[in-house]
Amino acid sequence: MSKELEQLKEILGEISDINNASAVLGWDQQTYMPPMGAEARGQAQGTLDKLAHEKFTSAEVGKLLDALEKQVGDWDPDSDEARLVTVTRRHFDKDTKVPSKMVSERAELTTMGNQAWQEARMKSEFPIFEPHLEKLVDWARRFAELYAPYDHVYDPMLDIYEPGMKAADVKSIFDDIRPKQVDLIKRISEAQQVDDSVLHQPFDEKGQWDFGVGVVTDFGYDWKQGRLDKTTHPFQTTLGWGDHRITTRVYPDFFNPYFFGTLHEAGHAMHAQGVAESLKRTPLYNSPSLAIGESQSRMWENLVGRSKPFWEHYFPKLQKVFPDQLKGVDVDTFYKAINKVAPSYIRVEADEATYNLHIMLRMELEMAIMEGEAEVKKLPMYWSDLFTKYLGVTPPNDKEGVLQDVHWSFGLMGYFSTYALGNLVSAQLWEVIGRDIPDIEGKIRSAEFAPLLQWLNKHVHAPGAKFEPQEMVQRITGSKINGDAYIRYLEKKFTDIYGL
């Protein structure tokens, strides 16, 4: 290792430590922090984020990168060292455009914004959150201007979460799959409908909790590196190597939210747990993008957790936990119930056929807000109108409408499209997995998840953020991100369920 690389890694390690400390504060904020702690927490996180930003954008880091770029030509371009220089340079060039004052400002805005969102959501009153969102949108617009000229004001925000992609790329993908999904939903609506009343019963919280913990343990979630806690909106967070935590929420009268939400977050955590240890305390100790990350959570949640083979194994176990609720119910009835297609208000509880429409709606709103075509104070009205247009139902209140997701309270404009892209990537990967692990359905039916997790560790998890998302997908599947595999998956699954 050259002297310059050693020096760079030392600085990056210290920055990682600061970011991990900030992440601990963020996790605590959403799990155990008392409401009145928001102001002090925002100031503390703002200070930490500012310190990390100033350390990373220092002249010293710039000089080390200049020196290393003269050496990197002699290295294997796919080596950890070469990729570290490339990825660090990309982040450095982006971050040096952002004043450190804006970094600390954002931390304080998001901390106070999240606290306001929680209150607004609980009371179903958007005006409580509105002034905070106004400030966060203003911050996002000022951030975007730092990267002008751009093709679209949304591009700089999207690039944070999906490196190398532009709004036009995502719109093109969505424009291709939207009519196909709308057609599928129409055909399903004309078929005999599925009864999902079995899911809407009293389910004891401890029974739900223990069953979900057992399943994610079977998946391979390593409890020595994690824990499970309650929160308002489920999330996964990495607080450093060997510390990958998940959170969830439990509904006492609906089976789906806790169980599938927990599988989803465990998928994220197993991805994080699988990143090569050699990459820790560097920018490579991460996912290439949120779409790649979402491909892992959606895969475990849906392609595994909502599959028929999965429930052929686990349904008898669930019946033992809830014998009264599931008495006389067969696995086929339960499988169809958890896969019922119907427009719903809540994104995280949406079925696979309609889920992407929730994302397209949000992206359309975000782009309009960033462009200044939509006013923040009118978001509940815009939301209601677009929701009716996209899904054919109208949310009854702000809690089940514009306030349902936590992301805007953290200033995450440009984030939502990655959920739909993650769905597409999960199906692309699944087709390759089906070729590499020919009896994958049989293994799921036997609850043998190790081969799947090992495959994912090797191809997706271990490389961390060495490769940009499109490059990683191309390397594994032979094509860039597209919706073809996902549409094939949906067509096959719902043709079987609904007899289309």
Q: Any idea which residues carry the catalytic annotation?
A: 265
Distance between CA 455 and CA 276 in Å, rounded? Answer: 14
As beta bridge partners, residue 228 has 246
Neighbours of 324 (CB within 10 A): 8
Compute CA 119 distance to the chain's CA centroid, rounded to the nearest angstrom. Answer: 23
Q: What angle do CA 115, 161, 242 make, to 5 degrees?
A: 75
As beta bridge partners, residue 102 has none
Distance between CA 335 and CA 375 in Å, rounded? Answer: 42
Distance between CA 91 and CA 100 in Å, rounded? Answer: 15
Distance between CA 277 and CA 285 in Å, rounded? Answer: 8
Residue type at 271?
Answer: H
As beta bridge partners, residue 237 has 245
As beta bridge partners, residue 247 has 229
Q: Return the DSSP state at 372.
A: T
**8 A C-beta contact, residue 83 and residue 133:** no
Task: Bin 53: left if φ > 0, else alpha if -120 < ψ < 50, else beta.
Answer: alpha
Distance between CA 137 and CA 142 in Å, rounded? Answer: 9
Q: Is 372 exposed, middle or buried (0-12, 13-18, 19+ CB in 10 A)?
A: exposed
What are the Cα distances from residue 282, in Å, to 52, 74, 83, 97?
13, 21, 11, 21
**8 A C-beta contact, residue 113 and residue 410:** yes
